[in-house]
Amino acid sequence: MANRRDSRIEPSFEGSPRAKSSEGFSVSEEDRVVPRTRKSAAKGRSAKVKSRGRGRDRSRRGLLGIATRLVYWCFVLCIWGGIAAAGIVVYYGAKMPAATTWSVPDRAPNIKIVSVDGALIANRGTSGGEAVGLHEMSPYIPEAVVSIEDRRFYSHFGIDPIGLSRAMVTNLVGGHFSQGGSTLTQQLAKNLFLTPDRTLERKVQEVLLALWLEHKHTKDQILEMYLNRVYFGSGAYGVEAASRRYFGKSARDVTLSEAALLAGLLKAPSKLSPARDPKAAEERAQLVLAAMRETGKISDKEYKTALSAPATRAPSYWTGSENYVADTVMDELPDLIGDVRGDIVINTTVDLNLQKIAEQSIRRLIDESGKKLNVSQGALVSIDDSGAVRAMVGGYDYSTSQFDRASEARRQPGSAFKPFVYMAALEAGRTPDSIRNDAPIKIGKWTPDNYGGKYYGKVTLATALAKSLNSVAAQLTMEVGPDAVVEAAHRMGIQSDLQANTSIALGTSEVTPLELTSAYVPFANGGYKPDIHFIQRITTANGKVLYEGSTGSAPRVIKADIVGMMNSMMTGTVEVGTAKKAAFNWPSAGKTGTSQNSRDAWFVGYTANLTTGVWFGNDDGSPMKKVTGGALPAQAWHEFMVAAHEGVPVRPLPGTWKSTPSDTIVPDEIPSADASQTPPVPPAAVGQSQPATPSQPVAQAPARQVRTARPAETVDAAGFGIPSDSGETASIKHPVPPGNVGGPTKKRQTSILDILSGG
């Protein structure tokens, strides 16, 4: 075959190109089956394709290699990162106490203050509210909080990797910190154990503590602890405090829209507080409602209904006059039980219904007459015969001023102080029928004028007290001595320092409404001075008694016959004297008072059931416009006492006194002294005489009660008779008798030092 192939002779054509073989033979190109040019082109194309394929392969192998290397190094970095993280956790974990010693700290103690019938007055303490079980609070509250703060709360193990990753991406894209990845468990761990500092150490400890909490407690227990401790703004810690603070109701009664508002506060409690910015709080609440709808916690209908609830501004502070009582209770608490180490319940003596009536009366009178009469503040205190405070209003509005004018403000009592002057005089031997000459008198350079410039001439002490005659009170003070008046006032319950000078007769020494009212209580209960108290009992949340108020007998501070005479005289103040507007269908007595230029207006009155004192004035001491004790104070007293005595059986005032001719002391028997030698005394507060107005009928005492004294009987130069406020005998314009009237019972020379020092 090889020879035959080699010996083959191929024909040649002239002009045709030939190809030579390796042995020297040539072959025509046309003789080839496949032309050389096509075969070469095909080979070229094939080479190019192969070249491209090899390039793509090399590219693929390069990318795969890069990806492989990237995965590898990422894996390596993760390993080293995990090792580093573990090292950090071990390092900071080692600095923490052993896990076996970890325990959830006790919640800050709550102090629950309740009224005499168990109604809530206030919650005090760091938290500002008692703990409420998850099953007790409105179900909307935990649903709202979980929906907006930690949707996977019931599925994660204390740390939420999904939520954490989402927060990291959001923060990286936004370029700033806008979302947090902490779970509710982590937030609870931070609140229970850690400071709010944003440090790596604190974050590591937070994670460890969150894992421990999830291991030791159920999800519901963790959520309950969180809701009862987290800060909701405006000083409220826990849902109960926040509900009381913003809505005036318990967390048990919170609605869907209110629960959404509470849950919305957790992002920025102080900034979003409805007390500060109700619009911002409402906008955030709408986001919470949308989250609840997305998670299926509420229906579309519930969502639309909740959205229609308008935004309201919460009070900037606790409101309600009962908070004045709560403040006083908190002041007294340390002396009774020391430090509070757990939740306690304080049972007070306050009747919350009477408290509300008192507050409404004070506010209504100021609202109606405040601008016209230039009066902006008022106070009321009511005490029963045992010394239990039944109501105390310390001002017009607690939310705008927490200063308690009832127990802290010292003001001049004016003529409301005169009962102690008359009491000292009765103890020195005078009687209600003793006669004094009411006329302009002069003690040194001081002339104690009567209100309106009216003088009645010769009057009994009963009339002088009922008409609040300043000249007679000054005479009696000179007779018995200022020291005796001061001693009587302190014995009855006044605690403030009193200046023992002649002007004390007109109430120039300052006292608080609480102590002045308490000093009238012995007149109402028959002469006994009880301990004034607000607290009946203190117990733990489990009912263990920590303090029980004493029920011991009160000491007698005034004799029964003196009580009878004082009550006979002060009855005249209400029946025919300066407090006729206070009269109602109960036997009552009391005394009005107005300080100089009407800076203070008082009425302190009592029945055998309650003693109540009322004050009106201004914090800056500016004068009111002719407001007297027989006006606004008497009106407020009347409104309060009518409500307080509704349905209560009528009781007469204690004590009896029978007027007899032998009791009367004629003017000639009064010890005399040269009052003109007495050094000058500064001008003092002026009493008042109220125009006659019809009074309501007074209930008659039972037949066994003997009341023959004439409470407002007077005498004039022509004989016995009751002077009118407008007749000639009611106002003696000339000085009768001369200025040297009255004097101390002990004959001695009086110096300015004696007067200023109480001698």
Residues with catalytic function: 149, 415
Q: Is the peptide bond before 737 cis (omega within 30 degrees of 0)?
A: yes
Pairwise CA distance, residues 242 & 224, whole Å? 15
Pairwise CA distance, residues 613 & 381, whole Å? 5
Pairwise CA distance, residues 364 & 580, whole Å? 20
Residues 6+ apart with CB under 8 A from 630: 578, 579, 580, 581, 582, 592, 603, 688, 690
Question: How is residue 383 written in tokens?
Answer: 């005490």
Buried b (16+ CB within 10 A) or exposed e, 209-228: bbbbbbeebeeeebbbbbbb
Task: Enter the DSSP assignment of 675.
Answer: G
CA dihedral 506, 507, 513, 519 (to 10 degrees): -90
What are 358-364's contacts with CB under 8 Å, separation 24+?
Answer: 358/321, 358/382, 358/391, 358/392, 358/393, 358/636, 358/640, 359/320, 359/321, 359/393, 361/635, 361/636, 361/639, 361/640, 362/321, 362/393, 362/396, 362/614, 362/636, 363/396, 363/397
Q: Would you say 392 and 644 are in contact if contact means Cβ atoms under 8 Å apart?
A: no
> How many helical (H) and strand (E) elements, i.e. helices and strands, does the chain have?
22, 16
Element (H, E) at 755: helix 752-757
* Residue 215: strand, helix, or coil: helix
Task: Enter the DSSP assignment of 287.
Answer: H
Q: Would you say 641 and 614 are in contact if contact means Cβ atoms under 8 Å apart?
A: no
Q: Would you say 626 and 369 are in contact if contact means Cβ atoms under 8 Å apart?
A: no
Question: How is residue 356 written in tokens?
Answer: 């509300």
Nearest in space to 192 (alpha carbons), one of 167, 161, 229: 229
Backbone angles phi, psi at 122, to 5 degrees: -170, 155
Question: How is residue 4 written in tokens?
Answer: 């035959």
Amino acid at 348: T
Pairwise CA distance, residues 132 & 145, whole Å? 15
DSSP strand pairing (18-20 vs 719-720): unpaired
Q: Would you say 358 and 324 are in contact if contact means Cβ atoms under 8 Å apart?
A: no
DSSP strand pairing (719-720 vs 610-617): unpaired
Backbone angles phi, psi at 2, to 5 degrees: -65, -35
Where would I find the H helices in 399-532?
A: 418-427, 461-466, 470-480, 482-492, 513-525
Question: How is residue 552 written in tokens?
Answer: 């011991």
Q: Would you say 609 and 648 are in contact if contact means Cβ atoms under 8 Å apart?
A: yes
Residues 6+ apart with CB under 8 A from 534: 325, 328, 329, 332, 348, 349, 350, 388, 389, 392
